[in-house]
Amino acid sequence: MSVRGGVAGPESFAYTLTLGGRYAGTQEWVVRPERSGVVTRVQTEFGGALPAARKVQESRLDPASGQSVAYAEAEGGNRRPHFETLFDAATGLVTLRQGKDEATQPLVEGYHDPLSLLLWLRSRPQEAASVPLTVRMVGGRVHVQALPDSDVHGLAAHVYFLRPGGAYVYVERDAPHRLLRLIQPSDFGPVEALLTLEHAGARREHSRAGGARDAVRGERPPPGKPRRRR
């Protein structure tokens, strides 16, 4: 998948959520090309170790730049978003809607939303993986720091640390550069999303005791303070 080069066809991914090693829900991703851009829809069903809830996110990005054109969030059974951002290059405005409230601000440079940022990390050239980056999002800037490569499902992965927020992103090093693992802090502790791979057990050597648990939880996040990849 290359955001800059466009998406050849639709993609779908499934993730298992865990909290402290306990089941905490599922997450379904669908990425599809459309005439007006690339649309990503993510539906998260929380449960188990977390209070039952549903969250739906939808992002539309410009495949040429990988930046956001629109983003929306809905919760529960509501189809109408409770939060939206629109980045309109024609009018030069960013429009933010939350409930019945609406505000605008000048669009002076490109923005990312939470989903477009993850897809953009998938499309980054490997030679740029060691360069610290700063991207603009509504509400402030996010610093992207590359950490030493890791392993998920027996697959080599680039690891990124995002701050503020303290999230970890594990991107498959080789094509198709899938998002293998995501770790997001929450009020209940770090919530992990691990990609469900078909025949994952056959692709990873974990016949040792505890291997089945590793297939759900993946490797632990890098210990200590983040370090830049050399």
Task: Compute the distance between CA of residue 6 and CA of residue 83 in angstroms, rounded to an integer.
Answer: 27
Burial class (CB in 10 A: 0-12, 13-18, 19+), 186: exposed
Model pLDDT, residue 125:
55
8 A C-beta contact, residue 200 and residue 215: yes
Model pLDDT, residue 201:
41
In the chain, which residues have pLDDT < 70? 1-8, 125-132, 198-230
Model pLDDT, residue 221:
54
Task: Compute the distance between CA of residue 131 and CA of residue 9 in angstroms, rounded to an integer.
Answer: 30
Task: Compute the distance between CA of residue 17 and CA of residue 178 in angstroms, rounded to an integer.
Answer: 17
pLDDT tens per residue, range 70-98? 999 999 877 788 899 999 988 999 999 99
Identify the bridge partners of residue 2 per DSSP, sorted by sequence position: 6
